[in-house]
Amino acid sequence: MTAPNDSEQTPYEAPPESAIDTDYDIGQDNIEGSLGPFGFDLHNPVFPISALTVIAFVVFTLLFPELAGSTFSAMFSFVTKSFDWFFIGAADIFVILCLVIVISPYGKIRLGGPDAKPDFTYTSWFAMLFAAGMGIGLMFYGVSEPLSHFSSSLGGVVVGENGIRTDWAPLGAAMGNEAEAIRLGMAASIFHWALHPWAIYAIVALSLALFSYNKGLPLTIRSAFYPIFGERVWGWPGHVIDILAVFATLFGLATSLGLGAAQANSGFNKLFGMPISDTSQVILICGITAIALFSVIRGLEAGVKLLSEINMGVAFVLWAFVLIAGPTLLLATDMLDFLGAYLKYLPALSNPIGREDVNFAQGWTSFYWAWWISWSPFVGMFIARVSRGRTVREFIISVLLVPSLVCVAWMSVFGGSAISQVVRDGYTAVAEAALPLQLFTMLDAMPWTSITSFIGIILVIVFFVTSSDSGSLVIDTIAAGGKVDAPVPQRVFWCLFEGVIAIVLLLSAGGLGTLQSMVISTGLPFTVVLLVMCVAIWRGLASEPR
């Protein structure tokens, strides 16, 4: 992920007087901080509380890795089992609210005021919307998730000698029907990467854009709650909201960095014999964090944006290669079929009540929704920064549909190729490989394996760098109350601790499972924040002149 060059857009400046609702024009003065030791901007309690809590968390996890691992595992089990309905239901609410706003008169409201003009062309805007999304996640799960759902979680078909499952027919659809098992497995994968996650991002982005560009408030999470808390948003209610946003974003990013390190380690092992170990992954996290740190010190300049754009181009090349090297005609026609399957199974997959598919609803969907919610301050702020001048209707339709269709295309080609290798070619190695290795195992069955695998590693690393870089700046902006000129030592602190948290969680007893536990645990309270934000958005839109 990356964010636009600050020189191209400065969303923290107040919009023109004609665009501001004066009832909301509180301004930056309400949340000014002061420079403290080591050049940190001690923004009321938000930065010191967030920073000290993170340091205490790291020390505890390092000193007591076994206790930390078991504690985090218990948290994951409790939250997913007790609140799976809450995560699924909340995500449904976000989708429904977006659709209601689109068809309501509020859709005509323009972000930035009636006379605001878009800062970017459609081409650039759409490219950046996708860049804001799920680079490391798509690389990690593009092959493994469709295979997993097809073979066990949902599909009703087990790859290998055990044949057809007989214990449960998921959603009453795929039992003994291999073709429908494939469609259901792909539908379940697309479900996690299409409308629901982008609705989560759209809610946060719309709130930030509306209250910054149209109300004249700082571009930080607390500003969206002014219609509910009024002046108190600059006090403890706002502090708590911003602190939760910092924690959610930090652990969401740490989870992505951990997944990226595991996959990069697997790729280097396959190509160059690097041992798959905690030590290797720590070295990778340290090296990539150092690159991101260099970029953070320089600021959010065109170099990072250019790097992200190049990465997106390389990702398209790899996608096109897999499409051409695989069963091209089948994959091309299956895209529409898989999209249709997604729409067919969407009501059942998004149902929060009475779910029998416990592994899927708790182990997959609850984790994903918590992960996307944790990323939402990060991605939402980026999307808000590039969307000034768009109407609310144009904004929501684009944020929901364009990235969702790209994710459908990605999953259909990478997941479809892997399933085709297993079902039609008998190449079961891809299904038997460890999750971080499945992408490279799939590429093994195609031409130019070394080249394409190396490209895959580079993509993972650069997605890793741009996520860490931009994420550090976004966390810093939240902790500094919406400022873009926070002191450099503060940016360095957050960048370093993203990497440190990823490392200590990987080294704890649970490994990647611990990363998932923390993103679920921090995502739960922030889900409540987003639900309240829905009310604030509606009130904010209702106060806009039309």
Q: How confident is the chain (546 residues) per 10-residue block, as mean pLDDT?
A: 34 40 46 50 74 87 82 84 92 96 94 86 71 68 88 48 36 59 88 94 94 88 91 88 88 81 87 88 88 69 60 87 92 92 90 82 88 86 85 93 89 94 88 87 92 89 76 79 70 84 76 74 90 95 84
pLDDT of residue 25: 45
Number of DSSP helices (H) and strands (E) in the chain, helices first: 19, 0
Query: Tell me, what's the pLDDT at 63?
Result: 85
pLDDT at 208: 92
- 396 φ, ψ to 5°? -65, -45
Q: What is the pLDDT at residue 2? A: 33
Tell me how far apart the alpha carbons of residues 462 and 470 are, in angstroms, rounded to a whole number.
12
Question: Which DSSP string corresponds to 86-123?
Answer: HHHHHHHHHHHHHHHHHHSGGGG-BTT-TT---SS-HH
What is the rounded CA–CA span in Å between residue 220 and residue 474? 9
pLDDT reported for residue 102: 95
Distance CA 62, CA 55 (A): 11
Alpha-helix residue ranges (DSSP H) falling in 350-448: 358, 367-385, 392-423, 429-432, 438-444
Tell me the helix, strand and coil percentages in the chain, rounded to 5: 75, 0, 25
Q: What is the pLDDT of residue 39?
A: 52
Give residue 486's pLDDT: 64
Closest CA to 394 of 62, 126, 142, 77: 126
DSSP 151: I
Closest C-alpha to 371, from 133, 143, 206: 133
Question: CA-to-CA distance for 262 and 57, rounded, in angstroms?
Answer: 22
Token duo for residue 34: 């002061």
CATH class in words for 17-48+84-106+198-542: mainly alpha
* Distance from the first to the final alpha carbon of the chain: 34
Any residues with CB less than 8 A from the CB of 249 and at least 6 apart, and which? Answer: 374, 375, 377, 378, 471, 474, 475, 478
CA–CA dist 93, 531 (Å, integer): 8
